Amino acid sequence: MASLDTVSLAILLGAVLVLAGILSSLLALRFGAPLLLVFLAIGMLAGDSGPGQLQFDDVRTTYLVGSVALALILFDGGLRTRFASIRTVLAPSMVLATVGVLLTALITAPFAKYALDLNWTESLLVGAVVASTDAAAVFLLVHTQGLRLRPRVGATLEVESGTNDPFAIFLTLMLVEYISLGTGTAAHVMMEFAQEAVLGAVVGVIGGRLVVIALNKVALPQGLHAPFVTTAALVIFGGSQIMHASGFLAVYLAGIIIGNRPTRAHNSVVAFLDAATWLAQIVMFVLLGLLVSPSRLGGSVLPAVGIAFVLMLLARPIAVFVCLAPFRFNWREKIFIAWTGLRGAVAIFLASIPMLVGLSKAYLYFDVAFVVVIISLLLQGWTLAPAARKLHVALPRAERGPRRVELDLPGQLEQQLVGYPVRPKSLYFRRGLIPSWSKPTLVIRNESILTPIEAEPIAPGDYIYLLAPPEKAESLDRFFVDMQPSSAPDPHLLGDFMVSGEHTLAELAEIYGVKVSEDESGHTLADYFDVHLDRAPKEGAELVLDPIVLVARSISGGRVNVVGLRLPEDEETPPPLTRRQALRRKLADLWSSVAGV
């Protein structure tokens, strides 16, 4: 019975720790503190050096929980990533995720060697452990601090932080293997990297497609779709690892495949994974906090603080500026991307690998990573929002959207039911406007269900449900938010015509014959200003689109909503391009589509 009581006590204490982390997150959100520090602090207070006096040194369990947590976090990140929004930043993001991680480790290593009295291989391992940014830390802080980043900057950070973990893990494992076995050549390392990357990509793409087929073909009972997808993600991760492929890359790619295909119960899957990743992060950080021993940190605190500042102020900025040199990022964007290289659970998780295999000085790597993460979250985490605004990479927050309800309809994937409360100042109520691709289906009024015809005229306070394609559901929001008063046109602006900022570049190209890249053809004029201006748009801002000059005539909710078109004078037809000029233009267009310039 004593052993049963011990198990019950462990369950109770574990649940209390997680509950304390969840409740304390409310306080951290209120004051803008990095939430991940709260979970670490809970674990430290419960550990053997804190009031809790819990003896915990199970590195294997911590590694297991950390692997599952990181796999779910990366899968959730891929699931929420729209491929259309990241296509133009794939090249700079992948360079940052590979060359950037390697450069960061190489620049950090010399300081670690002399500060910690290590040999070159051990110091490079320290650099590899702290080299990658943490996706969960970056976007959790961006969300909690109310930031809306410029699309190109946000997409670059999103893809980089989601894809640099596999390379950092690979680099760490290679160095641990070399230190423990004393063997390894450059050719062996390159072969291992190629095998892990290629196999991981193949398993991720195939696994993602199989999950999509299973979701749409297998008639699962209601409520089991989300657990099925979550379990399938872990199967993809575990299978990849057994095949000596990168499981972390595989689950991230599988998430992108699943998130960009029409599937059943997509909304319930996303909501379930949101809760699962939150719980995974809390458990992982609490366990990492339990492993920390403040009494052991004394001898390595000062060198670790020095490494943290070298990483933030020297290694990361140099790596970012070198990697982004071929791409047209301005200096403000480069500085912000460099400063947003937050370290989080990944660094501490990587530092647990030497402990797991029993390397000498293993606890030194863990303690250094812990101090680096604390300083990064405190210094970079708390200054993220001011830095974004000071560097003009933050857009004004859009007005809060309406409360949207999305319901999947069994038996088909093309339509879903989308519901909104009707506001008295909304575009739908005042003008009766609704997109042609949506169809009002039912209205709820005073707890009664009515057809749209029975409910005529629609009244404020009604709830209306419409059929709409899942990928367009969010576009309905603007019809159900309060209309903002539009500003009067500025007579000093020289636009010959005025059009709505909601028109797409493809529509403009069709009417005026301007040249628009395929990647940007679906962007609205408002999107075009967001992407290409160096700062938040203001009235009078101008952008060139082929021969036309776009002039911002009116701003609403921080975005351009009326655009003036300044058309060129008639000019002589230019002479046809030579073959060499045509080839150069095609190569330039190809580079623009890949590099996002």
Q: Same domain, yes or no, for 226 and 357? A: yes
Q: Are 307 and 115 in contact (CB under 8 A)?
A: yes
Q: Determine which of 122-136, 375-389, 512-526 has the lowest per-residue pLDDT on average.
A: 512-526
Residue 322 pLDDT:
93
| 49, pLDDT greater than 70 | no
Residue 596 pLDDT:
42
Higher pLDDT, 399 or 8: 8
Q: Same domain, yes or no, for 383 and 362? A: yes
Residue 35 pLDDT:
63
Q: Same domain, yes or no, for 284 and 201? A: yes
Determine, yes or no, domain membership for 400.
no
Which structural domain range is residue 193 located in? Answer: 57-394
What is the pLDDT averaged over residues 299-306? 86
Residue 268 pLDDT:
78
Q: Same domain, yes or no, for 414 and 382? A: no
Residue 594 pLDDT:
43
Determine, yes or no, domain membership for 484.
no
Long-range contacts: 201-204, Cβ < 8 Å, 24+?
201/249, 201/250, 201/253, 202/245, 203/236, 203/239, 203/240, 203/243, 203/245, 203/250, 204/236, 204/240, 204/249, 204/250, 204/251, 204/252, 204/253, 204/254, 204/257
Q: Same domain, yes or no, for 383 and 418? A: no
Q: How far apart are CA 342 and CA 137, in angstroms?
A: 7
Q: How confident is the model at residue 120 (pLDDT cuts 50, 70, 90)?
A: confident
Residue 335 pLDDT:
92
What is the pLDDT averaged over residues 580-588? 67
pLDDT digits (tens, 9 = 90+) for 160-173: 877 787 788 888 88
Determine, yes or no, domain membership for 46.
no
pLDDT digits (tens, 9 = 90+) for 282-291: 777 787 778 7
| 220, pLDDT greater than 50 | yes
Residue 88 pLDDT:
75
What's the token pair of residue 573?
A: 């037809």
Domain boundary among 337, 365, 394: 394
Side-chain-side CA neighbours of residue 374 (13 Å): 18
Residue 469 sits in a domain whose CATH number is 3.30.70.1450
Containing H/E element for 152?
helix 151-181
Residue 3 pLDDT:
61
Q: Same domain, yes or no, for 131 and 90? A: yes
Determine, yes or no, domain membership for 4.
no
Determine, yes or no, domain membership for 66.
yes
Determine, yes or no, domain membership for 381.
yes
Determine, yes or no, domain membership for 594.
no
Q: Same domain, yes or no, for 354 and 464? A: no
| 204, pLDDT greater than 60 | yes
Determine, yes or no, domain membership for 33.
no
Q: How confident is the model at residue 21 (pLDDT cuts 50, 70, 90)?
A: low
Q: Same domain, yes or no, for 155 and 225? A: yes
Q: Same domain, yes or no, for 156 and 266? A: yes
Which strands form 448-450's sheet, in the order they lie side by side?
405-408, 416-421, 463-468, 439-445, 448-450
Residue 561 sits in a domain whose CATH number is 3.30.465.10
Q: Are 96 and 164 in contact (CB under 8 A)?
A: yes
Higher pLDDT, 489 or 534: 534
pLDDT digits (tens, 9 = 90+) for 358-401: 788 888 888 888 889 888 888 887 888 888 888 888 766 555 56
Number of structural domains in the chain: 3
Q: Same domain, yes or no, for 413 and 368? A: no
Q: Are 577 and 501 in contact (CB under 8 A)?
A: no
Percentage, residues of the chain above pLDDT 90:
12
Domain boundary among 479, 514, 530: 479
Residue 80 pLDDT:
79
Q: Same domain, yes or no, for 266 and 202? A: yes
Residue 286 pLDDT:
80
| 475, pLDDT greater than 90 | no
Residue 133 pLDDT:
84
pTM for this structure?
A: 0.70
Q: Same domain, yes or no, for 415 and 563? A: no
pLDDT digits (tens, 9 = 90+) for 528-562: 776 677 555 777 788 888 778 888 887 776 577 78
Query: Of 246-260, 391-405, 427-441, 501-515, where does the model show the most confidence?
Result: 246-260
Residue 418 pLDDT:
87
Q: How confident is the model at residue 490 (pLDDT cuts 50, 70, 90)?
A: very low
